[in-house]
Chain A
Amino acid sequence: MNIRESELPGIGYKFEIITKNDDKLVVVIHDDGRREIYHFDADDHEEAVSAATFTDEEARQIAGILGGMRYNPKSLDTVDFTFDDDLIIEWYQVEPGAPAINRTIGEVDIRSNFGVNVIAIKEKGTKRTYNPGPDTIIEAGDTLVISGEKNQIRKLISTLLSSRK
């Protein structure tokens, strides 16, 4: 995702967002607190096809919804189950550009380095889930089901599974 910021003197602040799917969105934050969001034509990135205006309060609520504060989608990003205080199972989708990509589980040695077990891997785009071995190659978009202590899982995710940007 590509985000470009710019100031609009006398009006406010503008964020231009181009997603991985090449969708263009523009968010304008007006100095008076209003927010506007524009969606551009997929073929013509100069032509806004729709727009919506929110008050400050509405914008905050929508931000919460988009951020997953109310409902967290299953099998995406992080969904965790807590067994006791420390041990949890977590689902995590490997981000593009993450250091672990194209390396085997044995190679990065998740178990001895982080004390975390990879219970299952769900390949991107398939429903198939299988038990990984040390030779299983981690690919971008794979969802890893991992169990371990919360802090160590966090450490694993931040060092190996999320993109370096």
Chain B
Amino acid sequence: MDNLVFEVGTALVLIAVTSLLANKLNFSIIPFLIVLGMLVGPHAPTFGLIDLTFIESNEIIQFLGRMGVLFLLFYLGLEFSVGKLAKSGRSIVVGGTVYVAINFVLGLLYGFLTGMPWMETLIIAGLLSVSSSAIVAKTLVDLKRTANPETELILGIILFDDIFLALFLTTMSGVLLAGSTSVFGIITSVLISVGYMLMFFVIARKGTPLLNKWLNIKSDEIFIIVIFAILFFVAGFSETLHVAEAIGALLLGLVFSETEHRDRIEHLVVPFRDFFGAIFFFSFGLSIDPSTLSDAIWLALGAALITIIANVVAGMFAGRQAKLSHKASTNIGLTIMARGEFSIIVANLGIAAGLSPILTPFTALYVLILAIAGPLLAKESKNVYKLLNKVFKWSKVSEKKKIEVPGE
């Protein structure tokens, strides 16, 4: 019996209920959907009509999740603009570079110390370095910190982090998906990826007037069909060149971000990104066998601890060199440490290339810890600052002056 639609419908109901719950608790949906995916799956029971194993529908759910990755990265490309980066200023460039460098180098060291092979070490260093734009933005808005002096720097570092993600994914997909083991083969395929990326940059610079004209389509219906056709075709075509399909989507987003249709595309893509993105987090959880989690727990805890320390240090450095106070600088690290969608995408690249299967439970636990601990620590940043201040003695304890209210 073909119950496919019913199974997918069941999964969506679970996703919706979980998202409502996450919203009620004021958390990002990302960690909640991953846990949901882990709870169900082949080991879960079947209640009469309702089948929680999702075996039959696994393939289609994974495919919908893959679409989610395409939309997430396509949107990232759209949001990104070279112009924005160019005017971002020195403190963001310095802060962003230091941020990525500290995290990446510590990630490499961690991989070596835990005895990971080369490729796994690179993937771990990569996924430890990419902050979650979605969670950080949500944290800033929820905690009403958008007005704070450090907010521009936080978002600037995130922007910088996103470029690193793009470069890292492109290079790594060249290294990993080439299927070659010789140094020469790897170099060739990295060159192909980088050349492919450069080709998109050239199109973005030179082809904009032409694209503006071609995409000048009045009907929203036709417009979205054309955009999505290009998106899926380019993403799929990239795969044939051993460039991850996600990179194809990202680069295409970059090209469109230079056109005058950017806002319209962004507007149309957001609901798709949100919907398929949610399925992606669920499908990632679904791909995890809970029994493997215990093997990865210490590895993930260690990595999370390193990230927390690295972020506080990098945030403090970035904030101080931008002439922010110690208190504002503490906020930077604590806000930016959240990990989410992009770490999973990096891990998926490694898994797709057949690297060690421990990457899946490791990444899941690592993201779960930091997707929850990040926003919580950000919320408690005042207390963290007080604690750090006791150790480092940055400033005299400036207790708020009590305002004398006459007649009280």
Binding site for B on A (CB under 8 A): 6-12, 14, 16, 26, 28, 30, 36, 38, 40, 45-46, 48, 51
Binding site for A on B (CB under 8 A): 79, 84, 133, 137, 140-141, 144, 146-149, 151-152, 155, 158-159, 325, 327-328
In contact, A10 and B133 (Cβ under 8 angstroms): yes
In contact, A10 and B79 (Cβ under 8 angstroms): yes
Main DSSP-derived SS at the A contact region: strand
Q: Which residues of B contact A11 (CB under 8 A)?
A: 137, 140-141, 146, 155
In contact, B325 and A14 (Cβ under 8 angstroms): no
In contact, A14 and B328 (Cβ under 8 angstroms): no
Docked CA distance A30–B140 (Å) = 12
Main DSSP-derived SS at the B contact region: helix
In the A-B complex, the 5 residue pairs with the smallest Cβ-Cβ separation, listed nearest first, are A26-B147, A38-B147, A28-B146, A10-B137, A6-B152
In contact, B155 and A48 (Cβ under 8 angstroms): no
In contact, A14 and B133 (Cβ under 8 angstroms): no
Docked CA distance A16–B149 (Å) = 9
In contact, B84 and A7 (Cβ under 8 angstroms): yes
In contact, A48 and B141 (Cβ under 8 angstroms): no
**Shortest CB distance B323–A (Å):** 12
**Shortest CB distance B378–A (Å):** 15
Which of B147, B151, B327 has the most A CB atoms < 10 Å from its CB? B147
In contact, A36 and B146 (Cβ under 8 angstroms): yes
Known A30-B146, A40-B147, A51-B147; 19 more pairs at CB < 8 Å: A6-B152, A8-B151, A8-B152, A10-B79, A10-B133, A10-B137, A10-B158, A11-B141, A11-B146, A11-B155, A12-B146, A14-B146, A14-B147, A30-B141, A38-B147, A46-B149, A48-B147, A48-B148, A51-B144
Q: Which residues of B contact A8 (CB under 8 A)?
A: 146, 151-152, 155
Enumerate 10 A-B pairs (CB-CB under 8 Å) in ascending A order: A6-B152, A9-B158, A10-B133, A11-B141, A12-B146, A45-B149, A46-B148, A46-B328, A48-B148, A51-B144
Q: Which residues of A contact B328 (CB under 8 A)?
A: 46
Q: Which residues of A contact B325 (CB under 8 A)?
A: 46
Q: Which residues of A contact B84 (CB under 8 A)?
A: 7, 9
Which of B137, B146, B155 has the most A CB atoms < 10 Å from its CB? B146
In contact, A46 and B144 (Cβ under 8 angstroms): no
**Who on chain B is nearest to A10 by CB?**
B137
Q: Which residues of A contact B79 (CB under 8 A)?
A: 9-10
**Who on chain A is nearest to B152 by CB?**
A6
Q: Which residues of B contact A6 (CB under 8 A)?
A: 152
**Who on chain B is nearest to A41 by CB?**
B400
**Shortest CB distance A47–B (Å):** 9
Docked CA distance A70–B140 (Å) = 35
Docked CA distance A140–B274 (Å) = 56
Q: Which residues of B contact A7 (CB under 8 A)?
A: 84
**Who on chain B is nearest to A15 by CB?**
B147
Q: Which residues of A contact B141 (CB under 8 A)?
A: 11, 30
Docked CA distance A7–B146 (Å) = 11
**Shortest CB distance B401–A (Å):** 8
Q: Which residues of A contact B149 (CB under 8 A)?
A: 45-46
In contact, B147 and A36 (Cβ under 8 angstroms): yes
In contact, A36 and B144 (Cβ under 8 angstroms): yes
**Who on chain B is nearest to A28 by CB?**
B146
Docked CA distance A36–B151 (Å) = 15
**Shortest CB distance B406–A (Å):** 19
In contact, A10 and B147 (Cβ under 8 angstroms): no
Which of B84, B149, B325, B327 has the most A CB atoms < 10 Å from its CB? B149
Q: Which residues of B contact A45 (CB under 8 A)?
A: 149
